Structure 1
Amino acid sequence: MGSLIDFPGLQGFMTAVPSIFTPARIECLAQANDVARKLRGLGYRVVAEDPFPDDGGPSIIQIDVSTVGTRSLQHLGGCSVRNTLTGVESTTIDGVRVVWQTVEAS
């Protein structure tokens, strides 16, 4: 089973959920769930989650910002990084990477 998060440039995410949950993995899941709840509370739709990415980094949550915008995300994360080549913007909120597709004005 491949990751649900499949933005260009974000390759190499996990292919299977581990079956052994150590205290560190449980903490990682709890952290990701807390951030997902916070994002939903702000009106964002969580599209996909990858609690244990293969790159060894923090959990990743993909959201849809089409109806709410990004101002709240930039406030929560302190800043955001936009990759104009892949069309992905991201920030880190409470140790969890939050990514979304950028919306270009036409």
Structure 2
Amino acid sequence: MGSLINFPGLQSPSSWVLPSVYTPARIERMGRANEVARRLRALGYRILAEDPIPDDGGPAILQIDVGAAGTRSLQHLGGCAARNTLTGIESTTIDGVRVIWQIAEAS
């Protein structure tokens, strides 16, 4: 990502990244994502990736590895799960945080 600030004499975006500003709303989103991640780890899930401020402007996203823990707990915590067979992703929302995982392949 290049600089979003227009510096005099700068002809092209610089290669450095602007520091993030931690507003109260951003801190709250990151805290909620961390809380959900801790709950999922306690249930035996492994967090593969986190995006507290996704580009689509939606809620934070946690990508998990279901492993041997299965999906029943996730469906219970989120109330339901949505499956997209085209992308191979299943997802639910837990306390305002999107949780996504790969669909297990049937053997």
* Shared fold per TM-score greater than 0.5: yes
- Aligned mates of 1:18, 1:92 — CA distance in 2: 29
SS at match of 1:53: coil
Deviation at 1:85, TM superposition (A): 0.6
Do 1:17 and 1:52's aligned partners in 2 also have CA atoms closer than 8 Å? no
Structure 1's unaligned 5+ residue stretches are 2-15
Cα distance in structure 2, aligned partners of 1:24 and 1:67: 35
Corresponding residue for residue 44 of structure 1: 45
SS of the aligned residue for 1:34 comes to: helix
For structure 2, the 5+ residue unaligned runs are 2-16
Per-residue CA deviations over 1:32-73 (Å, capped at 9, x if unaligned) read: 000000000000000000000000000000000022100000
Larger Rg: 2
Q: Aligned partners of 2:53, 2:68: CA distance in 1, in Å?
A: 28
Question: Is 1:26 the equivalent of 2:27?
Answer: yes
Which residue is 1:9 aligned to? none
1:102 aligns with 2:103: yes
Once the two structures are aligned, what percentage of the paired residues are identical? 73
Indicate how the Cα distance of structure 1 residues 27 and 18 shifts in structure 2: closer, same or farther if over 3 A, else same: farther
TM-score, length of structure 2 as denominator length: 0.82
Using CA pairs below 8 Å that are at least 6 residues apart, which structure has the higher relative contact order? 1
**Structure 1 residue 91 displacement after superposition:** 0.0
Distance 1:67 1:29 in 2: 27
Aligned-residue CA RMSD (Å): 1.6
